[in-house]
Structure 1
């Protein structure tokens, strides 16, 4: 199929949504589809190298004149005009409700949603999109989000929702020489990878560092502003802030960690506290941890229990209970067999259930047959 993927963010960018979009486009290309990504301009890095994707699918950059609803609608119309110059896609897929709505009469639509949107203007934009006759599927990242979406739009009747969690790529061969990390060569390494926004549990990580002076803690990610803020709050000399790293090189860090942390709080905020997503989150880093066989301690939250199971593929502890987290970390430090067992099971589950390539098949399952029945052929 010819797939037009609509992304409402910059490319490349330091944000997780860019990783998700590039991984999905790469997976669609690996499945044999002809995919074109429509994105906003981002930084100057080569996006294929920055994200470490295998396929060089076309990326068409469409700027937004300003970050207001009128600017997003103007950009949506520009995408529609740009798309008219080439072959009509068989399917329009994406996370950008403005552009999807503008293209609702061009081709069948798949709308992927990661949170309930309360920021759209006009307020009924998402409702109009979900009621579009050519909408063939809604992809939600968690069952919790799917339930809330059905409840919010109950007046539209049954929505064609497919639940597809975030995923990870299987790791490549381990580097011959390990990534050099600061710290003590004989110390166990505890890692955290991700942004340092409010709700990510960074305060808990720093408290654990104070309780375990013989362990080195490494935090990878975060904006310069957030990193500076947490470094000032950190009183432990064995905590190392590595800053943002391109997604393509994160595997080198995972390979050096003995234990990893996913200490999400009950309210998880996006950049600038523009949204709160803790109720619906499907964190990519959890799957990346599992993919690399890293033994993990994670927050015991209902949405994470859709994937994580205590003493099966991780240790789950309440995010507001530092003593419980300290006990879990102490258990993993002293029990190498438990570390190996949890890491191996996590990796097995990712390879079996949670690869991007498998997700591409899940979110498109049966759509090709629907389009063939409707048009007689699919390009």
Structure 2
């Protein structure tokens, strides 16, 4: 099946949405589909995007710039995308997270609209409802049950929507295929506590630094974040055994995971995106949680309703309230002292990813039953 994937961001970039999009296109290609990704050009790095993201396949990427980051600019770019699509051959399915580009091509072929939040920034405001009410909408894919409920409630005037919940995912490391990073700074004979992800507000970085103050016998490594955020948190850090590594290409992250003994997912109840442009904590399905699990790492995570859709206390992680530093300290002390618990949590997390949360399984699930060429359930 020919799939045109519509991405409203840039490739490559340091944003998580680029990782998600590249992993999905890679998984669709692995399943035998002919995928073309329509994206904005990236300015973050000139590294080859396939190497930067560490994907298996070199599916075509068509870079379509946006004249300016306003609704008028997005609509102009969407028109340019449509021109490329109609030149053919037409795809069998359009898939994506970009409501502007989807709206520009939604009259051509069936389409799948994927959402990771309720969009409040699309203009005109009726754009999303028009997409969800289209007779060519094949499916709306969301990442959490919480988002499915809120989406159905917001658009209840449309009646029952074809919503599928498909959480974020991770790739399991291939034995022997991951190059370790350069030797990490710090002590070589103490446990390493890792955090991977952005350093935006709501990500719990203050809690990580509090834990570092409480545990001088451990080294803490934070991988990710813009230079501005990294500088801000480094200035607030009082402990000499905290190391900020900055953003790394997604393809390099497995090497860091291999060096960590315990990992943290200290999300707050309100999780903000870059520049505090939006707040997505109610619907979050953090990719890093699944990557931690895929690498068999014992994790302490925030006890939030949306994370409980995947995480279970003392089964695949330890859950603690995000506003309880003492509770997080007790959990960290328990994991440091109990090797058997570390192993059981890590092994169960990895097993669950293998059975439920790989990108290949997700790609199969979001297309299953659509009745299109190359999908399960085709008539």
TM-score (norm 1): 0.97
- 3-state SS of 2:283 partner: coil
Q: Aligned to 2:81, which of 48, 55, 79?
A: 79
Give the aligned partner of residue 39 of structure 1. 39
Give the aligned partner of residue 51 of structure 1. 53
Q: Is the 8 A contact 2:220 2:241 kept in 1?
A: yes
- 3-state SS of 1:162 partner: strand
What are the ranges of 5 or more consecutive residues in structure 2 without an aligned counterpart?
Answer: none
Q: Is the 8 A contact 2:143 2:283 kept in 1?
A: yes
Q: Aligned to 2:281, which of 268, 272, 278?
A: 278
Give the aligned partner of residue 192 of structure 1. 195
Measure how far apart 1:370 and its partner are. 4.7
Q: Is the 8 A contact 2:33 2:374 kept in 1?
A: no
Q: Is the 8 A contact 2:92 2:372 kept in 1?
A: no
How many angstroms apart in 2 are the aligned matches of 1:135 and 1:129?
7
How many angstroms apart in 2 are the aligned matches of 1:303 and 1:372?
33
**After superposition, what is the alpha-carbon deviation per residue over 1:153-178, rounded to whole angstroms, capped at 9, x for unaligned?**
00000000000000001112245767
The yes-or-no answer on 1:350 pairing with 2:357 is no
Change in 2 beyond 3 A, CA 1:241/1:155:
same
TM-score (norm 2): 0.97
Give the aligned partner of residue 206 of structure 2. 203
How many angstroms apart in 2 are the aligned matches of 1:172 and 1:228?
34
Output aligned runs, 1:63-142, within 5 Å: 63-142=65-144
Give the aligned partner of residue 231 of structure 1. 234
Q: For the aligned residues, what is the CA RMSD? A: 1.4
What are the ranges of 5 or more consecutive residues in structure 1 without an aligned counterpart?
Answer: none
Give the aligned partner of residue 340 of structure 1. 343
- 3-state SS of 2:235 partner: helix
How many angstroms apart in 2 are the aligned matches of 1:372 and 1:189?
45
Measure how far apart 1:254 and its partner are. 0.4
How many angstroms apart in 2 are the aligned matches of 1:275 and 1:219?
23
How many angstroms apart in 2 are the aligned matches of 1:275 and 1:172?
35
How many angstroms apart in 2 are the aligned matches of 1:198 and 1:225?
12
Measure how far apart 1:180 and its partner are. 1.1
Aligned length: 374
The yes-or-no answer on 1:164 pairing with 2:171 is no
**After superposition, what is the alpha-carbon deviation per residue over 1:255-309, rounded to whole angstroms, capped at 9, x for unaligned?**
1100000000000000000110000000000000000000000000000000000
How many angstroms apart in 2 are the aligned matches of 1:355 and 1:283?
14
Q: Which moved more, 1:179-188 or 1:190-199?
A: 179-188
Q: Aligned to 1:147, which of 149, 161, 169?
A: 149
- 3-state SS of 2:319 partner: strand
Q: Is the 8 A contact 1:69 1:121 kept in 2?
A: yes
Give the aligned partner of residue 333 of structure 2. 330
How many angstroms apart in 1 are the aligned matches of 2:357 and 2:47?
28
**After superposition, what is the alpha-carbon deviation per residue over 1:230-249, rounded to whole angstroms, capped at 9, x for unaligned?**
00000100000000000001
How many angstroms apart in 1 are the aligned matches of 2:135 and 2:243?
52
Q: Is the 8 A contact 1:179 1:253 kept in 2?
A: no
**After superposition, what is the alpha-carbon deviation per residue over 1:32-84, rounded to whole angstroms, capped at 9, x for unaligned?**
00000000000322100000000000000000000000000000000000112
Give the aligned partner of residue 242 of structure 1. 245
The yes-or-no answer on 1:257 pairing with 2:260 is yes
How many angstroms apart in 1 are the aligned matches of 2:2 and 2:180?
41
4+ runs deviating over 2 angstroms: 174-179, 369-373
Change in 2 beyond 3 A, CA 1:244/1:176:
closer
Give the aligned partner of residue 319 of structure 1. 322
Change in 2 beyond 3 A, CA 1:73/1:323:
same
